[in-house]
Chain A
Amino acid sequence: MTVDNDVVEPGRPPEAIKAVPVRHPGRWVAAAVILVLVAMFVHFLFTSDALDWAEQRKYMFSDPVLKGVRNTLWLTLAAMVGGVALGIVLALMRLSANPLLSGVAWVYLWFFRGTPLYTQLLIWGAIGSLFPTVGIGVPFGPEFDTWKTQELVNAAMAASLGLILNEAAYMAEIVRAGILSVDEGQQEAASALGMSRLQTMRRIVLPQAMRVIVPPTGNEAISMLKNTSLVAAVPYAELTFTAQTIYASTYKIIPMLVMACLWYLVISSVMMVGQYYLERYYSKGTSKGARERRRLPFMGGGAP
């Protein structure tokens, strides 16, 4: 065997490479085309009469629009809070060893995921004709007190209930996937320490499941923001419905719809930032968590 003569001598680094880089003419062409298109679009934004920025400015912060924004916001919040809470219950039912509980949860998911949200909301709007009265009493027996459904369930309640019950079905699947993602050894270790089932779920399993649950839930929340526009079916005056009401009398359709879009964009952007911080919080204890901490907020967040 001979000694390898090509070994670089220590202390003398090899000469740095100087090579002609590969040219990419296609990229330049694509960039030029895109630049032209962007320029055309900006020009259109500033010159088109159809957008009527003045009209938009006039209504953007008007009382009915602000009320519509408020309604959209609380509907989104209520739907997500209620949907997550009910979704956790449904997920635990689905995972239960009791076939009745898991069966009921399955049927629930089957119905609410198998029918369109818009149709469900139409039904909520007409709930009074489905159940004319609600009462408290003995099942199949006498009732102690009775109310007219149409009076009990107003538009706001119908809208939020409709969104909550539908969202719960989707959240249930997200929560279930999260719980199943946690290593079985975790429950075992908790049991071996004498922790109860509830303690194990609350202290050990759910916090770890959150890492899997939070990102899709953030996406659900942003979807929900947009799905609130469907409660026009009830009908309930959220942002889109309010825009419609305004252009029904002014006939300036596009300006009002663009204005609504701008509002949605502002709100969803804020939500994405919130999602970033939530995800960071729940990645505690993972090496990913340590790395993410150093990144800037605008890089985080899921797709809207």
Chain B
Amino acid sequence: MSRLRKGAAGPAEPPADAGPMVKAEQVHKSFGRLEVLKGIDLEVMPGEVMCVIGPSGSGKSTFLRCINHLEKINAGRLWVNGHLVGYRQSGGKLYELRDREVAAQRREIGMVFQRFNLFPHMTALENVMEAPVRVKRQPKQQAREKALALLDRVGLGDKAQSYPAQLSGGQQQRVAIARALAMEPALMLFDEPTSALDPELVGEVLEVMKQLAVDGMTMVVVTHEMGFAREVGDSLVFMDGGVVVEKGAPREVLANPQHPRTQDFLSKVL
């Protein structure tokens, strides 16, 4: 079956020679003596939707957090959009980036969390406007118009003045997606965006994400929604014990897993 995106009027397709949006080379990460990532090699091409599955504790969240430098990696290399994450390389030496430079890199990357993490003291509109106004120094009026358009896009145009506590989980997560999109990221990271939702609210969030994929956004999605992975994902990665065990086209991996650990995991969740 052809991808939804094909033929959709999204942003221009990236040129064929564009490098990967995310490139991980032997990424290692330890917390104290606990080694959580044990050498991750991955590439995400522009416009690709990569779904990541795997048992709890396998390092999926940690890997996402490394991509936008919320965690420092201990070994290996990680690039986003051609830039080394968190470091500058010059003369064969690595220099740590300043906080300000790291913050600048993060603006390229939107992140959506399992528990939404909306700012509870701000309305939905203020949540979406905050970063463009404070970080990008956009004029308030302009940021406001854009924020309203984004809330419309996630189907919450009428909830602009609501505080997060007045919204359902699904609505909160859609505001969180709009908030991330407001910074016009080149890459979106989703960490189990529907895991904290009541079952009847999962669909509305997945629908927004699907639309985003159709529009050509590059996405890395940690999820347990195999239907979403199958329908929207371009690639599926199975992680276990801090390594990538298996990677391939979602349909292939889900229907015909090669590795025993993948088979074992899928037999439990499907």
Contacts and interface: CB of A to CB of B under 8 A. Distances in A.
Interface of A: 183, 185-186, 188-197, 199, 203-204, 207-208, 284-287
Contacts of B115: 185
18 contacts: A188-B70, A188-B113, A188-B117, A189-B113, A189-B118, A190-B119, A192-B68, A192-B180, A193-B130, A194-B103, A194-B131, A194-B135, A194-B183, A196-B100, A196-B135, A284-B121, A284-B163, A285-B122
B106 interface: yes
Contact of A194 (B104, B113, B118, B121): B104
B120 interface: yes
Given A192-B70, A194-B131, A194-B135, A285 B106 contact: no
Contacts of B176: 189
Interface in B110-153: 110-111, 113, 115, 117-123, 130-131, 134-135
A190 B119 CA distance: 9
Contacts, number: 72
Contacts of B163: 284-285
Contact of B165 (A186, A191, A195, A285): A285
B111 A192 contact: yes
A199 B133 CA distance: 11
A185 B134 contact: no
Given A186-B117, A199-B135, A287-B165, 10 more contacts: A188-B70, A189-B113, A195-B130, A195-B134, A195-B135, A196-B103, A207-B121, A208-B121, A285-B163, A285-B165
Interface in B163-184: 163-165, 176, 179-180, 183
Contacts of A285: 120-123, 163-165
Nearest to B127: A189
A189 to B, nearest CB: 4
Interface residues on chain B, size class: 20 to 34
B183 A193 contact: yes
B120 A286 contact: yes
B117 A185 contact: yes
A203 B134 contact: yes
A199 B106 contact: no
Q: Which of A185, A194, A197, A287 is packed against the most chain B CB atoms within 10 Å? A: A194
Interface of B: 68, 70, 99-100, 103-104, 106-107, 109-111, 113, 115, 117-123, 130-131, 134-135, 163-165, 176, 179-180, 183
Contact of A183 (B99, B117, B122, B183): B117
A199 B136 CA distance: 12
Contacts of A196: 99-100, 103, 135
Contacts of B180: 192-193
A199 B107 CA distance: 14
B119 A189 contact: yes
A130 B131 CA distance: 51
A284 B123 CA distance: 10
A195 B100 CA distance: 9
B150 to A, nearest CB: 14
A191 to B, nearest CB: 6
B106 A194 contact: yes
Contact of A189 (B103, B107, B117, B135): B117
Contact of A185 (B99, B104, B113): B113
A186 B119 contact: yes
B106 A191 contact: yes
Nearest to B179: A193
B117 A195 contact: no
Contacts of A183: 117
A195 B130 CA distance: 9
Contacts of B117: 183, 185-186, 188-189
Q: Which of B104, B107, B130, B176 is packed against the most chain A CB atoms within 10 Å? A: B130
A199 B106 CA distance: 15
Nearest to A189: B117
B43 to A, nearest CB: 22
Contacts of A185: 113, 115, 117
B103 A195 contact: yes
Nearest to A207: B121
Contacts of B99: 196-197
Nearest to A185: B117
Q: Which of B103, B107, B135, B180 is packed against the most chain A CB atoms within 10 Å? A: B103
A119 to B, nearest CB: 41
